[in-house]
Amino acid sequence: MASQEWLEKDFYAILGVPQDASKKDIERAYRKLARELHPDHNPDPAAENRFKGVSEAYSVLHDDKARKEYDQIQLMKSGRGGFGGMHGGGMPGGGGVNFEDLFGSPGASGGFGDLFGDLFRGGGAHRRRSGAQRGNDLRTHITLDFADAVKGTTTEIRMRAPGECDTCHGSGAKPGTAPSTCARCGGRGLVTENQGAFSFAQPCPECEGTGTVVTDPCVECGGTGATTKDRIITVRVPVGIGDGQSIRLAGRGAPGERGGPAGDLLVKVAVRTHPLFARDGDNVTVRVPVSFPEAAMGAKVKVPTLDGPVTLRIPEGTPTGRVLRVKGRGVPGKGDLLVTVDVEVPQALSAEAREALEKYAAAAPAADRSKLEELTGQ
């Protein structure tokens, strides 16, 4: 099914075949690219995007009917049909026919009129085609130690990714040279074509609407301004990031096209568990074993934190499971350390300890179990 994107995409270039390629050639080109780019064989996230593009190109060009439609759209777009002129009415020197009058008016009869009307009414086609395009977002992931996630850190990731060419810094021009003003459109990025009574402005085919052309291309990137290679990217991890959250690095994704901004890099974070500490939102939690005498009589115990130990006062008569708060020892500036008191029952007693406990039992009140009987009659 024809879609708006067909206007903007060069399926032949994506598959690397000429426009008169046979069905066999198209199949061969597709199989080769699919082998190269399939996500199962190629971990590069950019390859996955290309794989999708290649699959789409193949699905259209391999289908005789779809290919014919696509070719006709491309033919119209290439100037013979004056497709750039959505805003044609206002362009200088022309009869001023609005595009909608030609194809898109309500109730127009079927065939190509409807198809093109739909394509354009979808909106944005003209803007996207003639102007800059934002690069794709890229995705990767990192694993952080527990403490680094709590306190924030700066880390480096290595990834194979497209990005600005280091040699020409994205201009596409050989160092020491600069892109020159496009002679065909005089730097406007638009050319006007007269078609009998109509006049259309369309993106300059010479400079693809950018207004400049690279006459002396950078050898490193072949004039595209972008190269794909192993890159080291510095990631600043904010304090308190949680397992499964993502960090967005604006502008570190794939470079834009025709002067468009780069996409973003989304870094998904996994946080390693800690043998002692855990998280409760911005609070850090820890469990601390306390003996029965300490819980009963009160005590001062040393409690570890992510920034060295603190002394915690256990109040007299603290029951097991009680949570005590150490201010400011959670996520910096945001949370506390929550200490859960675990009152320990000894698994084995020395003779001396047993004797002392028997003395204690004789002196202390027995556990109050009166409620059990009161509430159940048992």
Residues in the annotated binding site: 165, 168, 182, 185, 204, 207, 218, 221
Quick one: which of 221, 269, 326, 337 contacts Zn ion (CB under 5 A)?
221
Is 206 among the residues that bind Zn ion (CB under 5 A)?
yes
Output the CA–CA distances (angstroms, integers) from residue 206 to 71, 75, 191, 211, 246, in the order listed.
21, 17, 10, 9, 41
Is 182 among the residues that bind Zn ion (CB under 5 A)?
yes
Binding piece for Zn ion, criterion CB under 5 A, among 92-100, 118-126, 214-222, 350-358: 214-222
Is 165 among the residues that bind Zn ion (CB under 5 A)?
yes
Is 168 among the residues that bind Zn ion (CB under 5 A)?
yes
Binding piece for Zn ion, criterion CB under 5 A, among 20-28, 175-183, 237-245, 267-275: 175-183
Is 226 among the residues that bind Zn ion (CB under 5 A)?
no
Sheet holding 278-280, edge to edge: 278-280, 283-291, 337-344, 323-326
Which residues sit opposite 284 in a β-bridge? 279, 337
Phi-psi label, residue 27: left if phi above 0, alpha if psi -120 to 50, beta otherwise: alpha
What is the residue-wise DSSP string for 199-238? EEEEE-TTTTTSSEE-SSB-TTTTTSSEEEEEEEEEEEEP
**How near is the Cβ of 77 to Zn ion at its closest, in Å?**
16
Quick one: which of 218, 269, 284, 314 contacts Zn ion (CB under 5 A)?
218
Structure tokens at 150: 């709590």
Question: Which are the contacts of 316, defined by CB distance < 8 A and separation ≥ 6?
Answer: 296, 297, 298
Name residues contacting Zn ion, limited to 271-290 (CB under 5 A): none
Is 185 among the residues that bind Zn ion (CB under 5 A)?
yes
**How near is the Cβ of 92 to Zn ion at its closest, in Å?**
17
Binding piece for Zn ion, criterion CB under 5 A, among 90-98, 117-125, 161-169, 325-333: 161-169
Is 207 among the residues that bind Zn ion (CB under 5 A)?
yes
- Report d(CA 218, CA 171) in Å as an integer: 8
Residue 28 host element (H or E): helix 23-37
Sign of the CA dihedral running 35, 172, 85, 127 = positive
Is 208 among the residues that bind Zn ion (CB under 5 A)?
no
Is 204 among the residues that bind Zn ion (CB under 5 A)?
yes
- Chain positions contacting Zn ion, by CB under 5 A: 165, 167-168, 182, 184-185, 204, 206-207, 218, 220-221
